[in-house]
Structure 1
Amino acid sequence: MGMFDIQFSNKIKSSYGNIHLFEFLKKQLQKNKTYQNRIEESTLTIEKCRINTLLRYNLDINIQTNKKDNISEITVNGQLHDTLLLTIFIILSILLTYGLGIILVIGFTFYQKFVATKQLKELIHNYKSTI
């Protein structure tokens, strides 16, 4: 994982199963737009998703269920998709601002990572409260 990528895990008590959670997350993330996604047995993959941010992420949401305790662990991995755009901004900031603009580009990217992580954690928390 890179330093601008999202990664966290959370535990929830689920009685509905993986598909119900995947449909909830998919519906919340794709409010007005349609992203390319696929659902496998225990993984939801959404490509080029804007999670309330300007930058796009490739999301992999994985659920591991413990049948004995009925507790599921959700692992969210989000890989930054707009790396070419950031590279262009970094090169331009080096050329035009003698390197001081790199601080703004990196700060903006960390802020986008923070906003995306907060939004995803809030979605999972909202799902927990609906169960």
Structure 2
Amino acid sequence: MAEAEQVPHRDDRAWPRRAAPLSLAVGLAAIAFGVALTASSAQALTSALCLLAGLLIGSSLVVVGMRRWLSGKGIPAVLGITSTVVAVAAWIFFRMTGMTGGGGALFAGLVGGLLLANVWAIQAARANRLR
């Protein structure tokens, strides 16, 4: 029985040098912006749920894709399609509700979730390099 071909793990050289601190700063700023929008919204519960949904969707898309990519595999096309559909749906929701509705909080959550998960991905990639 032939051994499975070893796929090399990818490391953190795919990101610019200061990507992790910048992703962390912008991600936290996006979440703070979303919290501020939620606090000032007349529909605070809806905005809070939109912020949470954005965080969960944004971070899960990055984590699923990056785990595969870091292990040396490709990112599935369905993940790219899902990301595009989520972005378009968020844009439509934003246009319908405006900045002060749930749309702004949803966008802030998506950006925050994507960037905070990017920090995780950089750290995981750095661990691959150290192996």
Q: What is the TM-score normalised by the length of structure 1?
A: 0.39
Q: Which structure has greater helix proportion?
A: 2
* Higher relative contact order, chain-length normalized (CA < 8 Å, sep 6+): 2
